[in-house]
């Protein structure tokens, strides 16, 4: 964050938020118009206040002109500011990966044998939480991560419900090529590290999601061949059209 301050959570990607019902790793925000207040005011992120942000924008002709184009006058107030941010985020739609093209049956686009087999593995072992087409069910789940020294309680911080301890929002698996590190706290630098966790390192902590604790066996069994095929499929979720969309880049 500002002045190189360190936070406790990994920045999630901004994509397909129009179809989300809750925001932030630990929940507590259910309106996209309001979501930016959290990073703007958080001490370890931007450490600002909205009135100061408004003052800075009002002093910049570039922004007063754009607000006039968008809203009919140069007035910059909190409601317009939050609406502008949320409408930008709503525009960040990722839907042109190889997976999407295969699903749309575009001419000449098919999965390789390895990708198709990986897709089958995904549907069998991952899709309960990472539901198509967003590749998240939007739920908050405890995925058995070892409790860090920070002791981030996740959704519990917002709800104070005991059964919500250590639950975090299920992230989308789209564009994993561009979104490392992984997990709510960025503890895994590679996808292989993520797969190691699910195959070998799921912890018997309270509130562990039932999908990761079936028949007394924790985790998701994955052999080396399955890992390779699964990673091949996950690579089809990378969307270069979205990543390279200049309309979404800094102007």
CATH code: domain of residue 193: 1.10.760.10
Q: Which of 158, 179, 160 is nearest to 239 (CA)?
A: 179
Query: Going along 90-153, which residue ranges are E strands?
Result: 140-141
Residues 21 and 106 in one domain: no
Percentage, residues of the chain above pLDDT 70 = 100
Residue 133, preceding bond cis, omega within 30 degrees? yes
pLDDT, tens digit, 9 for 90 and up, residues 51-108: 999 999 999 999 999 999 999 999 999 999 999 999 999 999 999 999 999 999 999 9
212: which 2 tokens?
């990761």
Torsion over CA of 99, 101, 102 and 107, rounded to 10 degrees?
A: -160
Are both 190 and 215 inside the same structural domain? yes
Q: What is the pTM of this model?
A: 0.94
Give a yes or no: residue 39 inside a domain: yes
Looking at the domain assignment, is residue 247 inside a domain? no
pLDDT digits (tens, 9 = 90+) for 116-134: 999 999 999 999 999 999 9
Sequence-separated (6 or more) residues with CB below 8 Å from residue 163? 207
Residue 65, domain member (yes or no): yes
Model confidence pLDDT, tens digit, residues 225-241: 999 999 999 999 999 99
E strand or H helix that includes residue 214: strand 213-214
Both tokens of residue 146? 């070892």
* Among the listed residues 119, 121, 120, 164, the one whose alpha carbon sits nearest the alpha carbon of residue 139: 164
**Number of domains, the chain:** 2
Residue 251 has pLDDT above 80, yes or no: no
Does residue 194 sit within a domain? yes
Distance CA 130, CA 214 (A): 18
| Paired strand residues for 77 | none
What's the average model confidence in pLDDT over 209-235? 95
Contact 154, 165 (CB under 8 A): yes
Would you say residue 26 has pLDDT above 90?
yes
- In a shared domain, residues 115 and 87: no
Same domain, 36 and 111: no
Does residue 33 carry a pLDDT above 90? yes
- In which domain, by residue range, is 145 found? 98-241
Q: Which of 198, 161, 165 is nearest to 183 (CA)?
A: 198
201 belongs to a structural domain: yes
Residue 114 lies in a domain: yes
Check residue 177 and give its pLDDT.
Answer: 98
- The verdict on 87 and 114 lying in the same domain is no
85 plus 109 within the same structural domain? no
């Amino acid at each position: 964050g500002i002045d190189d301050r360190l936070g406790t959570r990994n920045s999630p990607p901004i994509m397909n938020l129009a179809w989300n019902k809750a925001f932030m790793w630990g929940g507590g925000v259910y309106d996209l118009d309001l979501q930016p207040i959290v990073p703007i005011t958080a001490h370890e992120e931007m450490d600002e206040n909205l009135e100061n942000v408004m003052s800075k924008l009002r002093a910049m002709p570039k922004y007063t002109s754009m607000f006039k184009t968008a809203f009919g006058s140069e007035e910059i107030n909190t409601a317009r500011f939050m609406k502008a941010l949320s409408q930008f985020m709503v525009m960040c739609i990722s839907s042109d990966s190889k997976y999407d093209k295969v699903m749309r049956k575009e001419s000449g686009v098919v999965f390789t044998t390895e990708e198709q087999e990986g897709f089958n593995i995904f549907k069998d072992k991952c899709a309960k939480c990472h539901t198509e087409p967003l590749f998240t069910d939007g739920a908050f789940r405890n995925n058995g991560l070892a409790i860090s020294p920070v002791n981030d309680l996740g959704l519990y911080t917002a709800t104070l419900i005991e059964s919500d301890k250590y639950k975090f929002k299920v992230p989308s698996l789209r564009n994993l090529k561009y979104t490392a590190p992984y997990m709510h706290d960025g503890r895994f630098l590679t996808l292989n590290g993520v797969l190691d966790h699910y195959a070998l390192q799921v912890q018997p902590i309270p509130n562990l999601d039932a999908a990761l604790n079936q028949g007394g066996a924790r985790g998701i069994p994955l052999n080396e061949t399955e890992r390779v095929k699964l990673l091949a499929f996950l690579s089809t979720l990378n969307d270069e059209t979205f990543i390279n969309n200049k309309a979404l880049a800094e102007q």
